[in-house]
Structure 1
């Protein structure tokens, strides 16, 4: 289940270079649509409403009036610059509050996000414009399964560097979506993460730590996803040296929650076997 593979990031970015900050653009898309290549499919039951229904309109936050002011966003320690329309950014309560605070400023508005990961923010920005982020989520009616368009399975896990560890990109996006008040993006990131395979034990554990560090204790989605994943793959994790080191290291409520979840799982098994 867990294989060793090199990380490949998706390079579609809405990076904004300072040298073009004063230039004006006519109508056109800020995004580059990639050609479809390899896709991976996993059989699941389709929900009642698809986030990207074929031929229909999506419930995503798209179709803003793109005639508002251009906002500059500085992201990460490297201060990578992005640009976005104000009408698009205000779909996030976090950015809406920030921009209202700058309402009376005469100079160009700037949002500084020194602690954010540029690649994850690029995905957030893409979602605000398009209602999805690369690789796109699609549904195959013939196979009754969701799949990721243009997803190269041979590239392995899609991760970003966080605090010296590799963390699943969708986990970082989920946490960013929570911070920016975008629950639909949280659900989308969680669904996409569930379509990945070949993820190493070390990546799962570092991603679970990141999830616990960047979500509230009340989070019932991403945290539960990691607990269930470890329990399902317990035969692999019990032989993992990384798991042993992480448990000895401690410092996270992850492992107590994992213990409780494991006990509940054993209780469920015992109850199902007991005569009634």
Structure 2
């Protein structure tokens, strides 16, 4: 039986396949009922790209491009040479400048906070909060768990920021950014079930059908934390509404998991 709408959260954990560990319990899943504060989830990156903050000596001679972002027409500025690191921007700039001398790009469908992180990555090779290497533990960590989610126009709820950045990396042709975002997402902890499900739906809506990284991450996460999700009223409602590729893929992944833990005679060594 499913629970009735009780908010629960799980630890993301990094993974490379949809096959979960042999056992997964509530304790193993890092369940936390504490919800991040509104201030922390809405906090903007420490660097808000602008013509003043992103001047770099290596591209000081490059023309400045004005970016008009989102329905509110937020203004950003970046060097043309830096934007050109993205195949998407390189193509758009080249086509536009064949028709006009104005170095101004309109991105009405982009979220300003997402674009801020994209520019931060293009200039600095990462986005806030940064990925740092703990030499003592020889492990990668996020410098803070702040700004874990973002609110996007047209979506009723918060989506994991790293999922949104991964999808933006695919849109702008930035494969290394996708790898960074996926690694960060695997390090997030204490994420609400409803946030995970909404983010999974966003991932499926904004990645190609042959994506084998982010989609697989969500399938493995839900299976690994199945003891939490099977008590989630949100999960129950999502399954009732259903009808998406996400839940068919989840069914296939669960079926494969059952096959993996079954003996040749069909006797299961584990259970959900």
Same fold by TM-score greater than 0.5: yes
Q: Secondary structure at the match of 1:194?
A: helix
Deviation larger for 127-136 or 197-206: 127-136
Equivalent residue for 1:231? 223
Equivalent residue for 2:151? 161
What value does the CA root-mean-square deviation take over the aligned residues? 2.3
Runs of 4+ in structure 1 off by over 6 angstroms are 272-275
Q: Secondary structure at the match of 1:202?
A: helix
Residues 1:173 and 2:165 are matched in the alignment: yes
Distance 1:140 1:240 in 2: 35
Unaligned residue ranges in structure 2 (runs of 5+): 1-30, 268-272
CA deviation digits over 1:110-166, x for unaligned, max 9?
Answer: 2111111111111110000011111111111211221122x1x4x5x6111131221
Q: CA deviation at 1:231?
A: 0.3
Unaligned residue ranges in structure 1 (runs of 5+): 32-61
Residues 1:147 and 2:141 are matched in the alignment: yes
Residues 1:260 and 2:268 are matched in the alignment: no
Equivalent residue for 2:180? 188
Query: Given that residues 65 and 77 in structure 2 are in contact (C-alpha distance below 8 angstroms), is that contact kept between their aligned partners in structure 1?
Result: yes
Higher RCO (C-alpha 8 Å, min separation 6): 2
Q: 1:161 to 1:272 in 2, by over 3 A?
A: farther
Q: 1:232 to 1:141 in 2, by over 3 A?
A: same
Distance 1:128 1:203 in 2: 28
Distance 2:247 2:227 in 1: 17
The TM-score, its normalising length taken from structure 2, stands at: 0.79
The TM-score, its normalising length taken from structure 1, stands at: 0.77
Distance 1:202 1:2 in 2: 13
Count residues in correspondence.
231
Distance 1:272 1:109 in 2: 65
Q: 1:174 to 1:262 in 2, by over 3 A?
A: same
Query: Given that residues 162 and 185 in structure 2 are in contact (C-alpha distance below 8 angstroms), is that contact kept between their aligned partners in structure 1?
Result: yes
